[in-house]
């Protein structure tokens, strides 16, 4: 199965991705540039950010990464979409539709 999801980096916009092989402990994710991603990020599993996981990259390929889910819920800011960051970054993404910010 293939699911749409979004990567949220602190201080950055949302980036679309596709999930494969998801389990309770991790997932394989299709991305544009696996080498350019940070080692840790928040994965939004729903468009409104209500389902989210803190992730740590465990392997990388040019267009795929493997992640493990870290314990605990990922914090979100008042907009409910991305991890808390500086005010400028929040204002850029607060009204963003995750399907439009790829």
Domains of the chain and any CATH numbers = 3-76 (2.40.10)
Q: What's the chain look like in SS3?
A: CCEEEEEECCCCCEEEEEEECCCCCEEEEECCCHHHCCCEEEEECCCCCCCEEEEEEEEEECCEEEEEECCCCCCCCCCCCCCCCCHHHHHHHCCCCCCCCC
Q: How many residues does the chain have?
A: 102
The model scores a pTM over 0.85: no
Encode pLDDT of 33-74 as tens digits.
998 899 999 999 988 878 899 999 999 999 999 999 998 765
């Amino acid at each position: 199965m293939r699911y749409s999801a979004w990567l949220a980096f602190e201080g950055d916009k949302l980036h679309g991705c596709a999930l494969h092989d998801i389990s309770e402990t991790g997932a394989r994710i299709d991305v544009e540039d696996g080498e350019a991603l940070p080692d840790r990020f928040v994965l939004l599993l729903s468009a409104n950010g209500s389902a989210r996981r803190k992730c740590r990259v465990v392997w990388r390929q040019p267009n795929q990464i493997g992640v493990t889910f870290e314990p605990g819920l990922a914090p979100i800011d008042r907009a409910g979409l991305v991890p808390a960051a500086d005010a400028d970054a929040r204002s850029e993404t607060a009204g963003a539709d995750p399907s439009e910010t790829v």
